[in-house]
Amino acid sequence: MIAQRLTIPKKKTDIIFDIAIYTVAILMIVMIIYPLWFIIIASFSNPADVANGNVLFWPKDWRLDGYIELVKQEMIWRGYLNTILYTIVGTMIGLFVNITAGYALSRRELLGRKWIMIVYILPMFIGGGLVPTYLVVREFGLLDTFWVLVLPFSVSAFNIIIARTFFKNSIPETLWEAAQVDGCGTLRYFITMVLPLSKAILAVIGLWTAVGIWNSWFDAMIYLSSEHLQPLQLVLRRILIMNESLLGQASGELATELRALSEMMKYAAIIVSTLPIMCLYPFLQKYFNRGVMVGSIKE
């Protein structure tokens, strides 16, 4: 005989609690998703309809003027290429520096690791400021070069601490002992055994680093002067500033058209600049969730 599963009826208070929890969860999801959806539909809508509150869930008058005008800007393609290169190279360097440092600090046999950790942690609370950093970058000859956006700021104390915690809690010491018995050295053990077991933390730190580089524009504004080296975010900023300048010089019907076009380009620029990096997240989500939880466990 197949045993029937006993269903215990929920109490009235439990039902009310479940309803409250689901209601709060749904409201939070709507609060997060709707602003993103509104930016998307606003980029395809008439700016007058957006300003008057006529666009809520769907565009009334579909327009592609903002995207068309944005694509016409030749500098945007160079900015896209620069940002992709900065993101790929910067993420690889960031992973190499932070993962190796985190692994080294997780080893008990590392001499003075507590003092080294202090050296990494202090800059998180005490910074030299913009002017000293600029002078250091200039003295190293990185000013107005490709490497200025990927080398000086590749070390992240926060990522190193997360990686260190992950290695200490997720990689068993017995694995290293077994590898030593088989004649495996430290470098070979790290490459062939530790890294394949660390996909979660690699995905987390890689995604954080990539998003930070992709969205960065202030560093480029400070350290880059050549237009052919500027990333996408700075290029979009220049385009919007140029539009505002032209708008200030226009009048009458032309000013109205330019104002509408400028508004559409603002929304289109947000979509163009965020869509590629948002498409990357679903491929790393399964590793990202696990890596964040494991890497944040307290020792």
pLDDT value of residue 41: 83
Tokens 């046999």 correspond to what residue? 109
* 3 state SS of 215: helix
Strand (E) or helix (H) holding 228: none
Q: 65-295, which class in CATH?
A: mainly alpha
Angstrom distance (rounded) from CA 94 to CA 100: 10
| Lowest pLDDT segment from 175-189, 212-226, 247-261 | 247-261
Q: What is d(CA 18, CA 25) in angstroms, rounded to the nearest whole number? A: 11
103-to-93, 204, 289 alpha-carbon distances in Å: 15, 15, 20
Q: Give the whole-number percent of the chain exceeding pLDDT 70.
A: 85
Q: Say yes or no to pLDDT of 244 above 80.
A: no
Separation between Cα atoms, residue 84 and residue 92, nearest integer Å: 12
Helix 113-125 vs helix 157-170: crossing angle, to nearest 10: 140
Residue 230: helix, strand or coil by DSSP? coil
Q: Per-residue confidence at 1, pLDDT binned at 50, 70, 90? A: very low
To which residue do tokens 């509408």 refer? 260
Helix axes 74-106 and 113-125, enclosed angle (nearest 10): 140
User: Vertex 117, ends 173 and 286: CA angle to 5°?
Assistant: 55
108 residue type, one letter: R
Residue 220 has pLDDT above 80, yes or no: yes
Q: Retrieve residue 264's tokens.
A: 């559409």
Query: How confident is the model at residue 228, as a pLDDT?
Result: 86
Give the domain ranges of the chain. Answer: 7-63, 65-295
Residues 6+ apart with CB under 8 A from 116: 105, 110
* Mean of pLDDT values over 217-235: 87
- Give the integer Cα–Cα distance in Å for 54 and 137: 50
Scanning the structure block, which residue is given the tokens 């590392």?
110
Let me know if 59 is exposed, middle or buried by CB neighbors in 10 A (0-12, 13-18, 19+). Answer: middle
The amino acid that residue 183 corresponds to is: G
Q: Is 73 helix (H, G, I), strand (E, B) or coil?
A: coil
- Tell me which of 24-33, 126-135, 260-269 is least confident: 260-269
Residue 109: is its pLDDT beyond 90? no
DSSP H helices in the chain: 12-43, 47-51, 65-72, 74-106, 113-125, 130-139, 157-170, 173-181, 186-189, 199-215, 218-223, 232-249, 253-295
